[in-house]
Amino acid sequence: MSDPWQKAYDFAVEVARKAGAEIRKAGESEIRVMTKSSTVDLVTKTDERVEKIIIGALKAEFGEGTHDFIGEESVAKGEACILTDKPTWIIDPVDGTTNFVHGFPFVAVSIAFAVNKELEFGVIYSCLEDKMYKARKGKGAFCDDDPIQVSDVKDIHKSIIISEHGTDRSKEKVTKIFSTMQRILCIPVHGLRGSGTAATNMCLVASGAVEAFFEIGIHCWDIAAGAVIVKEAGGVLLDVDGGPFDLMSRRMVCANSDVIANRIIKEIEIFPSERDDIAIKKK
């Protein structure tokens, strides 16, 4: 039986690599000479420019109108964030924007592809590390063509948990985020980490470098590609309340096993986060 998505998968890897080169170039040439404040404007331009390069290349390859697109920058400009049955690209052109501004070495291009609302493949290019993580549904997960597997650590006390404080600075949310982190740290676990990008954090779970990642407040474009990569590396994906993973819910736990995931879930203080697909309908 023909494999309809192999060409799209291979092309996505190529496009992610090209986008990563653009990000590195912007980092080397433009960002370094700018003051921090004007750099932030420049970064928004870089995010938008890289997303245009990615979507432009995909439309040129697969035709206008045949596929749908959910991109961080296009949604920010008011485009719909609804997963249809059509072949849909879910794109974060620069995951770890704040890292990028500071030259903190974790910046990822995240490209996922879904058909009939099912994630078919995910590609995450960690462009400052030059590491290409990728996975197709049912065909395993890879980093630069080497197969990757989640960690086999079963003991929470021997686990590293990765999470993020996100971009919200309201006292109420920050308190909830850090009290959750404090409870998890004092289980105790072996350590708490955060790379500054959800996509990279999920690759660290998939490659066995850490045992679990959780966050409330992320978006579908941050986690769609990582969801395929973690699953294909033998990991599990859940909602922060222990229910089934929901791509549009803006919250998730992924881990090397249900045991570690459910132990983390016990400590998470949940706060509301507006769904990706509902928020846009309100506009």
Ligand X SMILES: O=P(O)(O)O[C@H]1[C@H](O)[C@@H](O)[C@H](O)[C@@H](O)[C@@H]1O
Choose the contact partner of 218 out of Mg ion, ligand X, none; CB within 5 to 8 A by kind: ligand X
**Residue 164 interacting with Mg ion (CB under 5 A):** no
Measured from the CB atom, is 69 or 267 closer to Mg ion?
69
**Residue 215 interacting with Mg ion (CB under 5 A):** no
Among 222, 232, 267, 276, binds Mg ion (CB under 5 A): 222
Choose the contact partner of 276 out of Mg ion, ligand X, none; CB within 5 to 8 A by kind: none
At its nearest, how many Å lie between ligand X and the CB of residue 107? 9
Q: Which residues contact 279 (CB under 8 A, 6 or more apart)?
A: 81
Q: Is 92 flagged in the annotation as binding?
A: yes
- Site of interaction with ligand X (CB under 6 A): 95-98, 164, 166-167, 197-198, 215, 218, 222
Measured from the CB atom, is 27 or 256 closer to Mg ion?
27
Q: Is 10 flagged in the annotation as binding?
A: no
Measured from the CB atom, is 48 or 222 closer to Mg ion?
222
Choose the contact partner of 88 out of Mg ion, ligand X, none; CB within 5 to 8 A by kind: none
Measured from the CB atom, is 22 or 215 closer to ligand X?
215
Binding site for Mg ion (CB under 5 A): 92, 95, 222
Binding annotation for Mg(2+): 72, 92, 95, 222
